[in-house]
Structure 1
């Protein structure tokens, strides 16, 4: 049963061939993450094509970058690339687009937000103060302000002998999976929303339409679809006198 939960078709609508192509031959959804680099190269054809609006004060490196017609890059944004910015996508003021980022139609990387090796499916938004590393955002995902998709565990020091970090392992329905990845942020199914200042720890997979309340620190593993994930805390007021 857990294998089914972790298949891309359980998390995303793959009816459009252009979207399904990112998950070709993937048994487990995280297998798409190492393929993002290849898809950026495919979409850019290793070159540059700037048809959208790049406003004065934005900076683009010499790396392969495609900005489709109808896309907008605002002043103060920095696109290091390689990167593909789709039709109608927006890179807002102060955003940092690092290596191997794909923003599909209508996606947003917002003010003071950073993305690296990540795929934004159509109309996925990280609009304010977000970090999106080694992650996939499904259709219409919205990250509340300050959301961080952490991609490297705090105990992921390199082995002195091999120079390698440990791979991220997940336990789903009592079955352990070795993802083979040393960096793995979050994979959010279609229509997931996070509240402000939530932190998704490395290796989070969230089923479609789930809501994650503000300030939640979500542990790695699979979190079900159509759920509300709440942080419970006690708040009390006392007399100042």
Structure 2
């Protein structure tokens, strides 16, 4: 099944659990991230809107160039806002926006069509690709975040990984052709995307070694005890053992 384009009539945006406001508060997000969340009616629209903004230079103009240390490797269009820093030994492949107060440390990899929101810390061995980190996300250890949206003050433990491809129907194809769906109240809802990792709400801590299935939705304030696999929809304030 090939990917389809999501239109307002196809997206059940009336369901609060599919709205950005269910997962993310508007505090301390900076102008670009705040505007992005406000104009997207569904969480399924965020990645596409962000990618379009970055590809066309519409992710906002930096208020001053941040610090790029000698020895950092930048390719393509990389916007480093004032107060942000990319350290020697980090690699950033644009288009990417690194917002005020964020640090991409030595040994980190940030790849195409990603926004690192204000105050984030991306550490050695962390890889971020095609993802939005809204604000003050800590990914300070080896981990992988792909095709995902991560909320404010989320801590991503060592060796955590999102997964964005279906692998339950034979060999994995690249580019992907199987659409990712999410399940709410027993109904499968199309995302319109063949790569869709996770949406993780504000102030969630992902324990070390956690693996998130494609299409995982985690509401804000959820407490997850150590476990190896997480999937499906977890309402706000859940306690998961």
TM-score by length of 2: 0.84
Equivalent residue in structure 2 for 1:42, among 58, 64, 68: 58
Partner of 2:211: 199
Q: Secondary structure at the match of 1:181?
A: coil
* Structure 2: tracts of 5 or more residues without a match: 1-11
CA contact (8 A) 1:49 1:66 kept: no
SS at match of 2:52: helix
- Once the two structures are superposed, the pairs formed by residues 11-22 of structure 1 within 5 Å of their partners are 11-14=23-26, 18-22=32-36
Aligned partners of 2:65, 2:42: CA distance in 1, in Å? 35
2:131 counterpart residue number: 118
Q: Distance in 2 between matches of 1:127 and 1:197?
A: 14
Further displaced range: 82-91 or 11-20: 11-20
Aligned partner of 2:74 in structure 1 is: 60
Distance 1:189 1:211 in 2: 11
Match of 1:239 in 2: none
In structure 2, C-alpha distance between the alignment counterparts of 1:9 and 1:215, rounded to whole Å = 27
1:43 aligns to what SS in structure 2?
coil
Q: Are 2:164 and 1:148 aligned? A: no
Q: Which has the larger radius of gyration?
A: 1
Instruction: Verify the 8 A CA contact 1:22 1:39 in the aligned structure 2.
Output: no
Poorly superposed stretches of 4+, deviation over 6 Å: none
Residue segments in structure 1 that go unaligned for 5+ positions in a row = 231-241
Compute the TM-score of the two structures, normalised by the length of structure 1. Answer: 0.84
Q: Deviations over 1:101-138 (max 9, x none)?
A: 10111012211111111111111121111101001111
Summarize the Cα distance change of 1:18–1:25 in structure 2 as closer, same or farther, 3 Å threshold.
closer
How many residue pairs match? The answer is 224
1:1-241 residue pairs with structure 2 within 5 A?
3-14=15-26, 18-40=32-54, 41-43=57-59, 51-61=65-75, 63-155=76-168, 157=171, 165-219=177-231, 221-230=232-241
SS of 1:171's equivalent in the other structure is strand
Question: 1: distance between equivalents of 2:234 and 2:224?
Answer: 10
Distance 1:74 1:172 in 2: 42
Highest RCO, 1 vs 2 (Cα 8 Å, sep ≥ 6): 2
CA positional deviation for 1:14: 3.2
